[in-house]
Structure 1
Amino acid sequence: MSLGLNDEEAELVAQARAAAEHAYAPYSDYQVGAALRFADDAVITGSNVENASYGLALCAETVAVARALGEGRRGGLAKVAVVGPLDKGVGAPITPCGRCRQVLNELAQLGGTDPEVLCVGKDEVRRVALSDLLPHAFGPAHLD
């Protein structure tokens, strides 16, 4: 699956897809994976985690950001890939939900970056700057 991706991006998407295989999605049966690439080329992944109390579910991007912060990362977010199941819906590119946009923004603002988000669909990859997904974002600088 090239979808117009360079080798580094294809690898990031492959890691997001591998993460989706570990999703805990017994209620929606909609497995999502996210992969975060940092300036030092480290990649941290996450998958969605559902809960019987639906409001307590965690999206893949939020899980990946929590893992990154838990490992001591405070910025350096360079690129994000988000993938969903290829056999659900119309196969359109999946974008981060509003909450995940804000969570990604927090990590990006800690390092002063505006990462490109690869929103992956069945036959298309939509490339969007995080700032375009969440314009006029609230972040850490607002609290100074």
Structure 2
Amino acid sequence: MSPRRSRQAPMSEMNVVPYIDVMLVLLVIFMITAPMLTQGVDVDLPSTEAEPLPVDTEKEPVIISVDSNGGYFLEVGDDRGKPKSLSTVVDEVAAILAERPDADVFVRGDQHVRYGTVIRLMSSLQSAGASQVGLITEPPEDE
């Protein structure tokens, strides 16, 4: 007689503890980075002197100026010198972009205006349909 070997059934359980650890780490990472991804305006600013943008002479760009007091001026049409509210500027730019979706949109801000005023304008322009907003600057003076 030969001794009988007892066969053990293979273990069919899966150890999920490492997967839970990875999931929790990813959850924490996404919770930290999600607010940073949703807030902000996509602007590519040059770090040195910039080359002039090519100007298409056939289509007039939409230029919004912000003076040192925070007044908004839409430089399109007949009433260029009159200050306007932010909501009026956004409505007029949205109407222009509905008519000409490929129009270039530029912001010219006074160097003494508050940073938040320009960012608020750029964010509002983005919600009005401007996919890209350019900043107009002057070349630096040689000292």
TM-score bracket for this pair, using the shorter chain length: 0.3 to 0.5
Of the two, which has the highest radius of gyration?
2
Identify, as 1 or 2, the structure richer in strand. 1
TM-score by length of structure 1 reads 0.35
TM-score by length of structure 2 reads 0.35
